[in-house]
Structure formats: C-alpha cells, structure tokens
C-alpha cells in the first residue's frame, strides 16, 4: 500500500501545457502595439473558436472569445478563464485549463493569429510574473464537507442542503463534473415508471444478476442490491430536481432495456451535470473550485474535516462529517499500469482530475481498499480524440466490423469481452457502423460528427471506399445483419439485444475505434450505508464515500449504465447516512 501512495502522490502533480521561460523578469510594458481590434480563428473541440483582441499602443486591453459549440462545463470554462489570464499576463503563454486542453489550445492559437495580424511578435511577449505572496490561513466551519464535485458529490450536496444541512463542496479542478460529465450512455434502473410506461418488463433481481455476472461475481452483492433496489427511486428523484430520463435502451451486459437517458438520446453526463449545477445554484451551495483537498482530519479515529489549499489560501475545513467523492484513477497511467502493465500506451477517456486523490487520503487514515487492480477498458474509443462512443450507438443497432468488413463479435456483450475481441483483430481496431436513422434518434452522435471523427457515405459502398474496405464484403455483412434483425436470429454471433432497427437508411456512417482505459472498479471499501470501512473491518466514524472512489460494486467489470446508477444512488445514500450521523 505504501507503493500505491507514493505512485499516486507523484502522478497527482500537474504539468503545465505551456511553460514560461526560466528567469525571464522582463515585462511587456515597453512593447509597442498598433492600436486597434483584431480577429483570429482556430478549430476547437466542437467548432471554430473566434478570438477578438483589442490593443492599445502599449498593451493588450481586452480579449473576447466566442466558441458556441464547445462543451458546456468543459470547453466553456476555458472560454471564461483564458481571455482574462492572457490580458493579465500580457502573453499567450498561459496554462491550458485541465480537461479542456483542445479548447484551450484553440483559444491560444486564435489569439496568437489575431496578434500576428496586428504585426505583434508573439514570442517576444514574456508573461508578466506575479509576486509570490504568503498564503492566507483560513478556517471554515460546516456540517458536512464533500470532496469532489462530480455526479456523486453534487447529488449528495443537493440532498443535504434540501434537508437543511450546511454543506460545502471542494473541487481541485476549475470546473464541476468530474468524470460524470463524460458519461454518454445513460443510467441503469429497474422497475421504473418509465419502463412501465414503455411496456418494458424488468426486475431488480435481473438487474442484480446482470451486474453480478458482468462483474464475474467479484462484486459485493449487498452493495449491488442497494444500487438496484434504489434505482427506480433515484430516477424519480432526478425527475423531481428537473433532470428526467424518459427514454430507455439496451446496454452491454443487460438482459432487458434498462439504460435510461435524456430525451433525444443526449449524452447523460453533460445533461446531468448541467441540471445538478442548476440545483447547486438555486440552493446556494458553495463550490470551492481550484481548491485541492490534501488531508482528512481526524480526532480519536473520527473524521472531523479536511485540509485543503488553493493558489492563495490554506484551508482548515471543520465538519461533523466528510464525504469523499473524488472519483477513480483512470487518468493516472503510472498507477493503472502498475496493476495492468498491458495498458501502457492506451488512451484514457478520463478527465485529468481522475488521479486517485481521495483513495490516498482515505488510505492515510486507515481505510481499506478493495478490487484495486480491477481496471476496465471501453471497447469503442476514437483514438485521436479519446472520445468514447456511447454504448447507446450499439444498443440502437450499430455493428462492429474489422478492416475486412466482417463482424466478429456480439457487440453487446460485456465491455471486457468486446474489448478483447477488438484487440484480437488485425491492427487491434475496428469500425462501428450505423445509419441515418440511428443518428436521427440519438443526438449524442452529433458530437462525433462535429468533431470530424465520422466517415460518411450516401451508400454503403461509398462508405466502404472511404475507409479502405472491400465494398462487396461490407455490403454482404450489412445484408446478413439486416436479415438477422428481420428474423430476430443472429446466427453468426447469437446477439439478442439492440436489434430493433436494421442498418438501411442512408447516409451511412463509420467511426474507427479501439479500446481505451475507462474506469477503475476498485477503491475504498464501503458498506451499504456508504460508510468507509477501515483495515480493521469497522466503519470509520464520520467518513462516507460515493462514486468511482469506492470499490466493490462493479467487481471485475462494470456494465454500461451502472456508473451513473452508482453515483446517484450512493450519492443519496451517503447524504442520508451523513445526516443520520451528525444528528446523533
């Protein structure tokens, strides 16, 4: 465990994308500019980034950036932050916003082009150095402090504040959302009103068994039971806070249609983060961004708060209870390759903040870790952008083909099985194939089109030509698949789910994919009340945890849709348990 701690502490250090030159103390006050307004454009994550730069004769007066297609809560944060920093530094040599590097780099490029159009030698603009100041020491007193502003942390905060509890959230990143914002497919839930309305038969027992089988029975059945039996109520709760999930589809490893998603098939993560954020604002819940928790404070074995730090302040936050919701360590290559060396070089779908901080802090005060070596790869990740192609694409009827144009697996088996099947193909990649009907019914696909990771053909033969595939073979593969859908009998690979629609409505689309590191199933041990369990097998008083920071729920493999179920269900459980604890 000591090695685990050392590796995490080393890898948590952030590296700036653009470093200022050493020992440069010049400032730009002596620079001469040509006063006026100048514009530059660069390609961002979702579309064009347009920067308008206003210069006086002596300095950069103002920078305005427009990027309407950048992801809300990720790219939009960079658009809010970087222009002000460029003006403050009088230089484009500023740090990219973590989680929004594509947008950040596009902003820097667009501003650079604007400055160059004004005849400015951009390389000569040395960043103005701010003086080092002693950090202020500050003490904050609350009922509950939550570490991590992802889905689980925000869920818990909303529940606590609605119960009249004074709560604060600490978040080391510049934005809320964590890995939740990247979730695309939906939330698994059983015996829901939505399923009943749509005529879908399902049961908590089937949900439990699917999860146990998907996790190879390594899972803690008691935790899985809590997730399943509280999932329908969690869907109702989301509806009550203005975040309904009215559509249901298949996900890999599920017997029945169970994955609930927003209307139109939008990515569930960004949707929920937006709705959670609206609730935080409406409830006036304080979120301290750019503030990193460093230590859980204890007294006689009880958790009584945390230490945290921001750029200018060291905080002591005293609390009656602490909830850890910091996520996993899927962005920590040094750590996950310690347990899975074969994952070295894999892209990761995780946000940069997923480095395992909460696991470190909990372990330091005696928390037990479970399933820490269980790390999941997602089978359908576009490798140049690390964009994960949601399971709902396959659940809606898409197929996977290799470079020969042939199917090679039941596309909706568990993620580990499909990933292994992709890796086994020549080149260790494949293509996901779908049509216009699926695009029309799943708005999450628009992000893939906007990011230029799709190939498109009016006919399947035209599409085959664009991806260097034999058109006759691909056409025959689709013909066989469409016949399987018509007869509801996939003789080749025995697929039984996600067969409501065939692939026959042009244009046709393809995305080249391969597996990427996606989720860490292991973490701190909890019980059914979200209490953190010590290495001695007892609950640590006052310490609770929810979300990917915990272990035990998913076993050796997480099935799609269970991450969102976990954060909502156990976020609420952690809040209820914290309320019960502090009222004793």
CATH 3.30.70.20 for domain 143-374+521-582, yes or no, is: no
Residues 6 or more apart whose Cβ sits within 8 Å of residue 475: 460, 461, 464
pLDDT tens-place string over residues 414-472: 999 999 999 999 999 999 999 999 999 998 899 899 888 999 999 999 999 999 999 99
Q: Do 207 and 228 meet the contact criterion of CB atoms below 8 Å apart?
A: yes
Q: What is the SS3 assignment for 260?
A: strand
User: Are the C-beta atoms of 146 and 323 separated by less than 8 Å?
Assistant: yes
| pLDDT the model gives residue 133 | 67
Phi, psi of 137, rounded to the nearest 5 degrees: -100, 125
pLDDT of residue 6: 42
- Contact partners, residue 327, CB within 8 Å, separation at least 6: 148, 150, 178, 179, 353, 354, 358, 547, 548, 549
pLDDT confidence of residue 132? 63
Distances (CA, A) of 88 to 62, 84, 114, 465, 480: 10, 6, 17, 51, 61
Dihedral (CA of 150, 206, 524, 10) sign = negative
Domain 21-124 shares a fold with domain 376-516: no
Q: Is 530 left (phi over 0), alpha (psi -120 to 50) or beta?
A: left
The answer to whether residue 558 is catalytic is no
What pLDDT, on the 0 to 100 scale, is given for residue 130? 65
Tokens of residue 174, six digits? 């510049």
Placement of tokens 């973590």 in the chain: 98
Could you state, in order of their start, the residue ranges of all structural domains in the chain? Answer: 21-124, 143-374+521-582, 376-516
- What CA–CA distance (Å, rounded) separates 17 from 14? 9
In DSSP terms, 138 is beta-bridged to 315
Estimate to the nearest angstrom the gap between the alpha carbon of 376 and the chain centroid. 14
pLDDT of residue 100: 81
Distance CA 399, CA 394 (A): 6
Peptide bond into 26 cis (omega under 30): no
**Beta-bridge mates of residue 247:** 261
Find how far residue 43's CA is from the centre of its chain.
22
Please pick, among 261, 407, 415, 572, the residue that the annotation labels catalytic: 415
Cα→Cα distances 109→34, 42, 44, 104, Å: 20, 6, 10, 9
8 A C-beta contact, residue 167 and residue 66:
no
Residues ≥6 apart with Cβ < 8 Å to 41: 48, 49, 50, 51, 110, 113
What is the pLDDT, as a whole number, of residue 4? 43
Q: Name the CATH topology of 21-124.
A: Sufe protein. Chain: A (3.90.1010)
Please report the pLDDT score of residue 10 as a whole number.
41
> For 505-530, what is each residue's pLDDT tens digit?
999 999 999 999 999 999 999 999 99
CA distances from 332 to 11, 376, 378, 436 (A): 6, 13, 16, 37
Helix (H), strand (E) at residue 509: strand 508-520
**Phi, psi for 183 (deg, rounded to 5):** -65, 140
Alpha helical stretches, state H, 198-254: 204-214, 221-229, 231-240
Name the stretches of the chain with pLDDT < 70: 1-31, 130-133
403: how many CB neighbours lie within 10 A of its CB? 16
Structural tokens at position 497: 């789910």
| Best CA proximity match to 157, nearest among 147, 304, 231 | 147
Residue 12 confidence (pLDDT):
41
- Tokens 């004074």 map to which residue? 166
Residue 529 CA to residue 67 CA, distance in Å, equals: 43
Structure letter (DSSP) for residue 344: T
Half-sphere exposure for 312 (CA within 13 Å, toward CB): 5
| Cβ atoms < 10 Å from Cβ of 493 | 17
Beta bridge partners of 574: none
What is the C-alpha to C-alpha distance for residues 519 and 500, in angstroms, rounded to an integer?
29
Q: Quick one: CATH architecture of 376-516?
A: Alpha-Beta Complex (3.90)
pLDDT in tens, 161-205: 999 999 999 999 989 999 999 898 899 999 999 999 999 999 999
Phi, psi angles (nearest 5°) of residue 187: -125, 125
Say if residues 82 and 104 touch (Cβ distance below 8 Å).
yes
- Three-class SS string for 316-343? EEECCEEEECCCCCCCCHHHHHHHCHHH
Distance between CA atoms of 370 and 555, rounded to whole angstroms?
A: 9
CB 323 within 8 A of CB 145: yes
Q: From CA 333, how far away is CA 159, in angstroms rounded?
A: 34
The model carries a pTM of: 0.81
């Amino acid at each position: 465990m000591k090695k685990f701690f050392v590796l995490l502490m080393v890898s948590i250090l952030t590296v700036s994308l653009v470093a200022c030159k050493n020992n440069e103390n010049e400032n730009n006050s002596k620079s001469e500019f040509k006063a006026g307004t100048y514009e530059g454009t660069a390609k961002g994550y979702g579309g064009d980034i347009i920067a308008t730069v206003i210069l006086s004769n002596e300095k950069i007066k103002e920078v305005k950036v427009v990027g309407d297609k950048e992801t809300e809560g990720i790219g939009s944060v960079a658009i809010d932050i970087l222009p002000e920093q460029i003006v403050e530094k009088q230089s484009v040599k500023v740090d990219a916003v973590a989680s929004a590097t594509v947008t950040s780099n596009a902003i820097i490029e667009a501003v650079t082009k604007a400055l160059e159009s004004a005849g400015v030698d951009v390389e000569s603009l040395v960043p103005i150095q701010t003086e080092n100041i002693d950090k202020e020491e500050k003490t904050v007193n609350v009922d509950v402090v939550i570490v991590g502003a992802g889905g689980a942390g925000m869920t818990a905060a909303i529940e606590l504040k609605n119960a009249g509890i004074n709560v604060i959230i600490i978040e080391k990143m510049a934005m809320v959302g964590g890995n939740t914002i990247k979730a695309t497919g939906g939330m698994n839930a059983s015996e829901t009103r939505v399923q009943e309305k749509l005529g879908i038969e399902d049961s908590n027992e089937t949900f439990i068994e699917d999860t146990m089988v998907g996790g190879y029975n390594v899972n803690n059945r008691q935790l899985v039971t809590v997730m399943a039996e509280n999932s329908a109520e969690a869907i109702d709760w989301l509806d009550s806070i203005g975040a309904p999930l009215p559509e249901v589809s298949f996900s890999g490893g599920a017997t029945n249609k169970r994955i609930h998603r927003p209307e139109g098939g939008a990515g569930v993560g960004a949707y929920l983060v937006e709705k959670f954020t609206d609730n935080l604002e409406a409830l006036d819940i304080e979120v301290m961004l750019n503030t990193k928790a460093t230590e859980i404070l204890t007294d006689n074995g009880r958790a009584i708060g945390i230490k945290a730090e921001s750029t200018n302040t060291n905080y002591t936050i005293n609390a009656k209870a602490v909830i850890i919701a910091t996520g996993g360590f899927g962005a920590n290559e040094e750590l996950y390759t310690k347990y899975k060396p074969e994952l070295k070089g894999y892209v990761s779908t995780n946000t940069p903040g997923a480095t395992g901080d909460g696991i470190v802090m909990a372990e330091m005060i005696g928390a037990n870790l479970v399933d820490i070596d269980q790390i999941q790869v997602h089978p359908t990740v576009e490798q140049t952008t690390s964009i994960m192609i949601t399971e709902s694409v396959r659940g809606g009827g898409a197929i996977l083909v290799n470079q020969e144009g042939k199917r090679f697996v039941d596309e909706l088996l568990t993620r580990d099985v499909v990933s292994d099947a992709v890796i086994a193909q020549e080149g260790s990649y494949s293509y996901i194939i779908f049509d216009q009907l699926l695009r029309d019914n799943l708005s999450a696909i628009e992000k893939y089109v906007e990011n230029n990771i799709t190939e498109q053909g009016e006919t399947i033969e035209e599409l085959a030509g664009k991806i260097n595939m034999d058109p006759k073979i691909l056409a025959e593969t689709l013909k066989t698949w469409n016949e399987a859908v018509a007869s509801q009998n996939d003789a080749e690979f025995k697929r039984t789910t996600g067969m409501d629609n065939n692939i026959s409505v042009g244009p046709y689309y393809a995305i080249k994919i391969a597996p990427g590191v996606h989720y860490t199933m292991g973490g701190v041990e909890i019980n059914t009340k979200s209490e953190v369990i010590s290495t001695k097998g007892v609950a640590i008083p006052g310490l609770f945890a929810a979300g990917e920071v915990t272990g035990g729920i998913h076993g050796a493999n997480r099935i799609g849709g269970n991450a969102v179920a976990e954060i909502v269900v156990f976020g609420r459980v952690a809040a209820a348990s914290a309320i019960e604890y502090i009222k004793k």
